Chain A
Amino acid sequence: MNISQKPCSDVLSLFAHRLPKRNTCGQQKTEAVAWLEHKGLPDKRVEQWRYTDLRALGRVPYKTALRTYNPYHAEKLLHTLPQWGEILANLPRFVVVNGYFDPVLSQIPQTFTLTTCPFENVSGNGGKGEDLKGIQQPFMALNTALAEEEIFLHVQEGVKVGQVLMVSLTLGDEQPVSLHPRYTLKLDKGAHLSLLSIYAGDGIYCHNPVEQIEIAEHATLKHLTLFQESAQASVLKMVQARVAGRGVYESFILTLGGLLTRHDINVVLAQTGAVAKVNGVQYLSDEQTGDITSVICHEASECISRQTIRNVLSDHARGVFQGKILVKRGAQKTDGCQMSQALLLSEHAEVNVKPELEIYADDVRCSHGATIGALDEEQLFYLRSRGIAEHEARHMLIEAFLSDSLSLLEEEGVVRALCHAVLTRSLDLREEQQS
């Protein structure tokens, strides 16, 4: 138990030297710093962090990721993205480098506005500060304390934007850097946006973004996030989404890279008939950890939530899914469903699944389920009995499990093709390393 005897503040010390002094910064930052100084960053004794060990963040304090960087380096990294030449480069896009919006690499269409401002001035962007009252999540607090820029994307009433690409590039230095960008996505009534976010980078860094999402009545946000971060990167991401009446929030997370990726997702279904789909696939190997922790809060009646998380884990990889469905009083006719499916490809791989239902209404339908297994021996034998060599048979079955999970992706075309390509490529690479 020597893990848990370390003081809580240990991990915080990696960032402590950069925390602003209380009351010399704005009120939000002051509150966040106070919270951090009081609570520290969590270790495994904290229930929500039992399965994810933050010691993966290392021991060397993180420096600030720089706004000025080598443009060739960024451009080069951009071209390493999967299908960049064939598909991605043609999409309207905004590019964020080291946590700062880069207008040179971006191509913003007329259909939405994208603005940036220093973080302390965010109150001008529609009172989003309110959600931060009573911070309960440590990496929300860390982001608030250290965020320098807010990127604000706004789609106006009734506008259908179509597919947009967001790329986040982090150019790690010889010394570890950290970045804490703050994103706000606001969709007005009836607006429609399909966003494909790709997180990539190189070197050692800690990426701590916060996304605040507001979806108005009848608006739809489809958001696919592909994590292809550097193998030495840690990602501590927080999403807070609020969905109004008949609005739809559809999120799909695909985690491939990064040493440690923790995804905290809080969705509030605030008005009648709101819909949330939070699906994801974590395909991890070596010593990677991928953690999806979500709270879907049904505040109003007739809201629907769907979650399927798939983990495919080899070597010593670890997958975590902690999913909570909270049904508040009065949220009648709630329809909530949660599913976890894990494929363990090595005896050292590990998956931790914790479903949680908290229900205060009496006319609801909520369910959860979990399956965990290795590759099916009978299926393997069936393939081999048809002449297919064992490693090829394994490859086919893993590919089938992965590509089957893309059926959860309601996006067609570009996004699906990209995901398929990315999964197949990393499957080939990993199986090659095995043999």
Chain B
Amino acid sequence: MSSFLEISNLCAQIKAEGQEKHILRGVTLNIPAGEVHVIMGPNGSGKTTLSYILAGRDAYEVTSGHVTFRGQDLLAMKPENRAASGLFLAFQNPIELPGVNNAHFLRMAVNAVRRQRGQEELDAVAFLKQARKVLETLSMAPDVLKRAVNVGFSGGEKKRNEVLQMTLLQPSLAILDETDSGLDVDAMRVVAEGVNRLRSPKFSALVITHHQKLLDYLVPDRVHVMTKGQIILSGGPELAREIDQKGYAPFVKGA
């Protein structure tokens, strides 16, 4: 049986100042349905690039390798179609959209995805009811719906807004790019609980993090270490604890 998400030998580069910079140098990774995997690694190892490429950002050029998601060629799909088929990226730095009302944005997104999934669209009332319910579980003030998307949000509010979107869009694969960074312990728990609530045999997650702390709340099935555009080591949850104590250096040397 083919895996839920299958990344094989993925290579990618970016053009910066006229020069090609290789960022991914053959990433291979399988995530079965229902599992939570973690990627750790030093800054600049290509973790965010991987998440962007999976979500469909076209600033990168994939030079070889392929990605299958639920049996489909993921790299051939438009970003909006990837979202509809169940992929969600929680941005490391959520984008501000001045002049775009958050409630309007969320409803547009939810209905766009529902349409593509062949579900009925939600009217304003039904949508608000649902959104308010999720807000409560994330300890968010209802007024975030009235504000412009992420504009003037604190770091924590932005991250929670990502979890809010994730919950409403009901993905089958969530990629969380340092969603815990810059959060205090309480906020981190709220975020982790947000993800835990979605956990089911039909939901997988790829979590990019630097902190063991998050993994206390969000226990992963597998942990991968990425450096210089490759996955050099994989293991169980204990690998994250080991890295937390010893740093990346011993693992990078061994590679």
Q: Do A and B bind each other?
A: yes
On A, residues with C-beta under 8 Å from B are 377-379, 381-390, 392, 396-397, 399-401, 403-404
Nearest CB of chain B from residue A196's CB, rounded to whole Å: 23
| Interface residue B27 (Cβ < 8 Å from any Cβ of A) | no
> What B residues does A384 contact at CB under 8 A?
56, 78-80, 83
Give B111's nearest chain A residue, CB to CB.
Answer: A387
With A378-B95, A379-B95, A397-B97 as known contacts, state yes or no: A385 contacts B78, CB within 8 Å. no
Shortest C-beta distance, A176 to chain B (Å), equals 39
| Shortest Cβ distance from B115 into A: residue | A387
Across the A-B interface, give the 7 residue pairs with the lowest CB-CB distance, nearest first.
A400-B99, A404-B99, A387-B83, A386-B109, A387-B113, A384-B79, A382-B95
- Asked whether A389 lies within 8 Å of B99 as measured between CB atoms, the reply is no
CA distance in complex: A119, B79 (Å): 63
Give B residues with C-beta under 8 Å from A. 55-59, 78-80, 82-84, 88-89, 91, 94-95, 97-100, 105, 108-109, 112-113, 116, 148, 165, 169
Can you list 20 A-B pairs, Cβ within 8 angstroms, ordered by A? Answer: A377-B59, A378-B95, A383-B105, A384-B80, A384-B83, A385-B57, A385-B89, A386-B105, A386-B109, A386-B169, A387-B84, A387-B116, A388-B112, A392-B108, A397-B100, A400-B97, A400-B99, A400-B148, A401-B99, A403-B99
Q: Is the interface of A mostly helix, strand, loop or mixed?
A: helix
Nearest Cβ in chain B — how far from A401, in angstroms? 6
Q: A384-B56, A385-B89, A403-B99 are in contact. Are A396 and B78 (CB under 8 A)?
A: no
**Which residues does chain B contribute within 8 Å of A378, judged by CB atoms?**
95
- Chain A residues whose CB sits within 8 angstroms of the CB of B83 once the complex forms: 384-387
Q: How far is the CA of A390 from the CA of B77 in the complex (A)?
A: 13
A386/B99 in contact, CB under 8 A: no
Beyond contacts A382-B94, A385-B80, A386-B108: 6 other A-B pairs, Cβ-Cβ < 8 A, are A382-B95, A385-B56, A385-B79, A385-B88, A386-B105, A389-B112
Task: For residue A360, give the distance in angstroms from its CB to the closest CB of chain B.
Answer: 37
Given known pairs A388-B108, A388-B112, A396-B108, the reply for A382 and B80 (CB within 8 Å) is no
Least Cβ–Cβ distance between B83 and chain A, in angstroms: 4
Interface centre among A378, A386, A387 (most CB of B within 10 A): A387
Beyond A387-B83, A390-B80, is A382–B97 a contact (Cβ under 8 Å)?
yes
Q: Give the chain B neighbours of A379 by CB distance below 8 A.
A: 95, 97
Interface centre among A390, A396, A403 (most CB of B within 10 A): A396
Give the contacting residue for A381; candidates B57, B99, B100, B109; CB below 8 A. Answer: B57
**B56 and A404: CB pair below 8 A?**
no
Instruction: Name the one of A385, A401, A404 contacting B55, with C-beta atoms under 8 angstroms.
Output: A385
Q: Which residues of B contact A381 (CB under 8 A)?
A: 55-58, 79, 95
Residue of A nearest to B104 (CB): A396
Q: Which residue of A lies closest to B85 (CB)?
A: A387
- Which residue of the partner chain, among A377, A387, A403, contacts B80 with CB atoms under 8 Å? A387
